[in-house]
Amino acid sequence: MLYYSLNHQSPKVNFAEAAVKGQAPDKGLYFPEYIPNLSKEFMNSIKSYSKEEIGFTVMKPYVAESIDNTTLQQIVNETINFNFPLVKISENIFSLELFHGPTLAFKDVGARFMSRCLGYFNRNNKKEITVLVATSGDTGGAVANGFLGVDGVNVVILYPSKKVSPVQELQLTTLNKNITALEIEGTFDDCQAMVKQAFTDIDLNKKISLTSANSINVARWLPQQLYYFFAYQQWAETEAPIICVPSGNFGNICAGIVAHISGLPVKHFIAACNANNVVPNYLQTEIYAPKPAIATISNAMDVGNPSNFIRVMQLFNNQYNQVKNKLSSISINDTDTKTTMQSIYKKYKYVLDPHGAVAYKVLEDYLKDKNEKGFILETAHPVKFPETVEEAIHQKIEIPENIKHLFSLKKKSISMQANFENLKEWLMNR
C-alpha cells in the first residue's frame, strides 16, 4: 500500500514515511492508493471475531510491509484495550460510547495507534521526532497521553486559550516529561494554521524532524475506522444503521466512510455540525466557502475550515452528487443542543455531552416519520463539559476515577500569540 498527496505534486510513499512526515512536501494530505475490500465472509461472521482480530484484519492492508504482523498485533491490542459499548437510548437511536479510554475521548484510538507506530518507526533513529499538533479540545489530551514517555518523541500541543474545558486543559497541560503545551491567544483555526505553516517552513524542517498528530496524519486518521466495526458487531437490527457523527474537522466521519467502502454495511451517514456550518452549506449549495470559526458549547467542533473534508470528497471521486447520495450534513445551534441534553436526560436518564447532543438532535430529526434506526457517536465523556451539562440536566456529574488525580496537578503551559513567527522562534531555540 502506497500513499499519494491529494495535491499530486509529491512522490508516493509507504505507510511509515506518510506517518513520520504527517503531510506531503507539496502541503497535500496523504491518501491511500486504494481502499481495501474486506471479504463478505469476514463481514458476515464479524460477531464471532474478537476486537483484536477485527483491528488487525482492518489495519493490516494499510500498514503492509511497514510493520511486521507481530508488532502490528501488539499495537492494535494496546490501542483498543478498553470498551466500546453500543448503548440503547430510545426506541430507534443508540449511542456508541467512545469515552471509555484513558482520556475519555474517541481520539484515544487514533492517538494510541499513532504513538506506538512512531515509536516503532523511530526505534533505531538517534534524531528525535517532534510531534506538532493543534487541538480544539480532546486531541491534545489523547495525544499527550498516547505519547507520554515514548522514547525519541517530543510532543508540542497548541491549544486556544480559554476555549477548551477545564478537564481537557488539565489533560494536556499536566503531564510534563516529553509533552509541552502552548496556550495560543486565538482560535483553533489559528492553532491549525500555525501548525500547517510549520510543516512548510524550510528552515524549521532543516533543524527539526516534524510530524503531526492531528487527523491529517494517516496513522491517526485510519485507525478511527475500528470502532465503526465494533459498533456493527453489536448491531442487532436487521437493517444497516444510519450513523450520525458530531463533526468538526471531519476526520472521524471520513474514517467511517472508509470503513463503509471497505465493506461495512451503512445505510447513510450524517455529519452533525454546530454553528460552524461550512459543510452543511456546501451540501445545500455546492459552494465550499471556509470561514472563521464560531465559538459554541460543542467546542471540539468549532472548525471553520475542516482539513479532512478534502479526503471525504476524494472518497467520492470529488463528485458532488455521489457525496450527497451517501452523506447529509445539518447544523444545530447552542439552544437546541442544550434543550436536547435536558430532554434526553429527563426522558431516558441518559447524559449526553454537547457534541453527542448535536448528533442526537440531528439524527432524531432525520429519523422522524421514518421506520429506520441508527446510532450516534458519543465522542467525549460529559465530565469534560461540566458547566454546560450540569446546567442542562440539573445534576452533578460524577468524576470518573481515572481522572480524579488531575485536579490535584498544576497546569503548566507557555502562553503565545497566534503568530507563526513566534512559534518558529520558540521551536528553533527550545
What domain range is 339 assigned to?
84-105+221-399
Mean pLDDT within 32-60: 97
Q: Round the average pLDDT of the chain to a whole number and report it.
A: 94
Task: Look at 134-138, 160-164, 226-230, 267-271 and tell me which has the smallest mean pLDDT.
Answer: 134-138
DSSP string covering 59-126: HHHHHGGGS-HHHHHHHHHHHT-S---EEE-SSSEEEEE---STTSBTHHHHHHHHHHHHHHHTTT-S
Does residue 222 register a pLDDT over 90?
A: yes
pLDDT at 410: 93
Residue 414 belongs to some domain of the structure: no
- The pLDDT-based confidence of 213 (bands split at 50, 70, 90) is confident
- Tell me the residue length of the chain: 430
pLDDT of amino acid 396: 94
Q: Is residue 245 part of a domain?
A: yes
C-alpha cell of residue 46: 464479524
pLDDT at 339: 98
The pLDDT confidence band at residue 200, using thresholds 50, 70 and 90, is: confident
Tell me the CATH number at 282: 3.40.50.1100
179-185 and 268-273: which strand pairing? Answer: unpaired
Residue 138: the pLDDT is: 79
Band of residue 232 on the pLDDT scale cut at 50, 70, 90 = very high
**Residue 139, in any domain of the structure:** no
Mean pLDDT of 265-282: 97
| Domain count across the chain | 1
Looking at residue 164, its pLDDT comes to: 87
pLDDT digits (tens, 9 = 90+) for 95-113: 999 999 999 999 999 999 9
pLDDT reading at 136 higher than 80: no
Flag whether 328 is in a domain. yes
Q: Reply yes or no on whether the pLDDT at 340 is more than 90.
A: yes
* 199 pLDDT above the threshold of 90: no
Q: Say what the pLDDT of residue 300 is.
A: 86
pLDDT band at 288 (very low <50, low <70, confident <90, very high): very high
Residue 246 lies in a domain: yes
Of 151 and 237, the one with more pLDDT: 237
The candidate with the shortest Cα–Cα distance to 122, out of 76, 88, 91, 155, is 155
- Tell me what pLDDT residue 189 has: 83
Q: What is the pLDDT at residue 127?
A: 82
In terms of DSSP H, where are the helices of 297-396?
Answer: 309-315, 320-326, 334-348, 354-367, 386-393
pLDDT score of 367: 97
Q: What is the mean pLDDT of residues 283-296?
A: 94
Indicate whether 131 belongs to any domain: no
Q: Is 264 among the domain residues?
A: yes
∠ CA(166), CA(293), CA(392), 5° rounding?
45
CB neighbours (10 Å) of residue 268? 17
pLDDT reading at 91 higher than 80: yes
Is position 378 within any domain? yes
**Is 214's pLDDT higher than 80?**
no
